[in-house]
Structure 1
Amino acid sequence: MDRVPLPVQGAALHAVFALPRPLRRLIAGAPIRRDGLELALDAQLLLRMLALTDTSLAGGDHLDARAQLELRRGLVGPGVTGVRTRDLDIPSDSGGPVPARLYEPVSLGTGSPLLVYLHGGGWVIGSIETHDATCRYLARNAQVRVLSIGYRLAPEHHFPAAAEDALTAFRFAARNAESLGADPSAIAIGGDSAGANLAASVCLQTAQTMGKGPRPVFQLLFYPATDGTTRRRSRDLFADGFFLTDDDMTWFLDHYCPDLDLRSDPRLSVLLADDLRGLPPAYVATAGFDPLRDEGNAFADRLREAGVPVVKRQHDDLIHGFVSFVKLGTRFREAMSEAAGALRTGLALRSRANVVDLFRPTA
């Protein structure tokens, strides 16, 4: 398959997903069950097709890993229509401007909510481009503006560079909301995987300012990395064969934070923060067949224990990375549609009055 041109590979992938269910099951093989869960046919079929290629997220040279992800982003098909974009640079005191892209549904008026989005990729790979379809989908289906952030990557920039860029980007969005066409009192933050880690880090850091400066009003977290110090059961259960692997996780973290002593810093391991009170309401989506599952669920539990309104949603039958496959099987779209609805609802239910109540730390 690696000798086949990428456009042909993409066409073949979509053709397979368009087959009748019995044929898709025949190609995917017998259902996979683990830990009392059954993998969705769409996820299993994707894994079977990926197995025909020499596809991996990590390993080897980080520049090659980035290039491979950029090349293969077109396999899932064109992005969502009905959304216009414009690129901009966010001023920063650390290493030059931070690139960003604003997504605006064409029918959306000014003064809308805004989602600051941070892409996944283990803090090493991924970009605004690799997550273009994800941001388009959220913009159109949640009817919000989305500001996608191209933060600095490791190993050129170790922790906490990405976390610093994420905080800089959020503060820029808050200061410039009106020029972005957004409501300054309705700015959410979100991301997937490493991006969800950065989003949660921003929420933690802004909550610690004790009312000084803007804070997100909602956090949308897809399978977040939340603890760089502890190996949990799901990492062993799904160590290989389910898109993100145990080796990938080690490779990513070693590139981002090679200093073991820094891995307990709450800006990286948000699950280890002493106090999570005052963080914004959250929708935390995890995948049943994901090495990161247990630490994402643990973070949702800790938010709830801290009095933070949270929806903890484990998609039992999905794999890591499902936000990137929204143009493929219906099961991926269902998960993303639910998340878009949660974002839209969470933003609609907030008000200037209860933002104060939600964010005020309790005794």
Structure 2
Amino acid sequence: MPLSTIALQGAALRALYRLPRRIRRLIAGAPIRLDDQELALDAQLFLRARELSTLPALSKGTPEKARRDLDKGAAIAAGEPIEPVAVRELTIDGTIPARLYQPDELPEGSPLLVFFHGGGFTIGSITSHDNTCRFLAKHARVRVLSVGYRLAPEHPFPDGVDDAVAAFKYAHANAAELGADPAAIAVGGDSAGGNLATVVSQLTTRAGGPKPAFQLLLYPSADATSETRSKQLFAKGFFLTRDDMDWFMGHYARTEQDKQDPRYSPGLATDLSGMPPAYIATAGFDPLRDEGEAYAESLRKAGVPVVLTRHADLIHGYANFLAIGTRFREAMFEAAAVLRVGLEISPKESVGE
């Protein structure tokens, strides 16, 4: 899809959201109510626009094609690059690509978020989540290190986990060069990226540190073994589908037994004591909703400070829909605010013993 076509589709989509509410409702259709929730008009209009457009499903075709399609789609829904944010490309351990975001006039020795993009461990990239990272950097007033971990099926489980852990250790060891405070390094991500952030927190905590100071988990995948109610209710029609999830998991897992590994399904971990404080956000119309909320409850039972928010009117993927409507950005403003506060008041434990 030529860049001009992407720009035109983005402009058309944003124009759709500027129409009077009455017209937007007519286009979107009657309100969708399910599980005592009503889908936000912004979300329903986005789903309707996808139906009317040429944008493919998340898991259509080969992984290579799906990756290209996601990058194109992200450029349409995420909007123009958020400024002022300085950007620098770098490489972790000589092999893992990364991008460092620094908001305007942020002093040295400030907090840092190590961010892992979503995409079912199979698609997604630093590029697809560029504006998500810019948004968090600007509005949470933190540096953001976005990590291009290896993807399946070329690199199945646990290669992505190994890269995620290496990225956090790199950030801690090179905090001064990154302009960060080594005692205020958070991990975070959306969907599969939220899974990786969770796993990094578990592995580094059990190893005795250094560990993250905070976790920012946006609609994370936490348990590939559970057949939850939300997976049944929202299997079709709400952006992320059951077919998509099966496609992703089929590429990421080498065997069915992999799904029982807490590094794959962190919700199965038996000891969550001492985990970093966490913000977990779920979306009401998301197949992953229930497993994310179950993980939040497990953290609470282990004595870990947790802020859980269910955005009952939203769908999976909202962290990337920053240029359309207002509701998606509202949810991300909350995430940025909690991240900023969490890093300011969390115990400074990431330096370890």
Alignment TM-score, normalising by the size of structure 1: 0.94
For residues 1-363 of structure 1, the aligned pairs below 5 Å read 5-54=5-54, 55-76=56-77, 77-91=79-93, 97-209=95-207, 211=208, 213-352=209-348, 355=349
CA deviation vs aligned residue, 1:318-360 (integer Å, no higher than 9, x gap):
00000000121110011000000000011111244xx49xx99
Tell me, in whole angstroms, the C-alpha distance in 1 between the residues paired with 2:347 and 2:202.
Answer: 21
Asked whether the 8 Å contact 2:277–2:346 carries over to 1, the reply is no
Contact 2:111/2:142 (8 A) holds in 1: yes
For the residue of structure 1 that corresponds to 2:250, the secondary structure is helix
The alignment partner of 2:72 has SS state of helix
> Which stretch has the larger CA shift, 75-84 or 292-301?
75-84
Write the distance in 2 (CA, Å) between the matches of 1:164 and 1:89.
15
Asked if 1 retains the 8 angstrom alpha-carbon contact of 2:231 and 2:242, the reply is yes
Equivalent position amino acid for 1:248 in 2: D
Other structure's SS at 1:286 match? strand
Q: Is the 1:59–1:251 Cα contact (8 Å) retained in structure 2? A: no
Computed over aligned residues only, the root mean square deviation of the Cα atoms, in angstroms, reads 1.6
Please say which of residues 12-21 and 127-136 is displaced more in the overlay.
Answer: 12-21
What is the CA–CA distance in structure 2 between the aligned matches of 1:330 and 1:71, rounded to whole Å? 21
SS of the residue corresponding to residue 52 of structure 2 reads coil
Give the CA deviation at 1:53.
2.2
Q: SS at the partner of 1:288? A: strand
Secondary structure, counterpart of 2:44 in structure 1: helix
Distance 1:74 1:305 in 2: 40
The DSSP-based 3-state class of the residue aligned with 1:304 is helix
1:288–1:315 CA contact under 8 A, matched in 2: yes
**Does the 8 Å CA contact 2:284/2:313 hold for their aligned counterparts?**
yes
For 1:50, give the aligned amino acid. R
After alignment, is 258-267 or 290-299 more displaced?
Answer: 258-267
Higher relative contact order (CA 8 A, sep 6+): 2
- Deviation string for 1:11-43 (max 9, x for gaps)? 110000111211111111110000110000000
Q: Structure 1 stretches of 5 or more lacking a match?
A: none
1:244-276 superposed Cα distances (whole Å, 9 cap, x missing partner): 000000000010003001111001110000111
Over residues 58-116 of structure 1, what are the superposed CA-to-partner deviations in whole Å (9 max), with x where a residue is unaligned?
A: 1321111111112222212212111010000000xxxx610000000011111110000
> In structure 1, what is the Cα distance between the partners aligned to 2:172 and 2:186?
10
Q: Deviations over 1:207-252 (max 9, x none)?
A: 111x3x4100000000000011122110110001100000000000
Contact 1:128 1:150 in 2 (8 A): yes
- TM-score for the superposition, normalised by structure 2: 0.96
Number of positions where the alignment pairs a residue of Structure 1 with one of Structure 2:
349
In 1, Cα distance between the equivalents of 2:21 and 2:172? Answer: 46
- Residues 130-188 of structure 1, C-alpha deviations (whole Å, 9 max, x = no match): 00000000000000000000000000001000010000000000000011001011000
| Structure 2 gaps, min length 5 | none
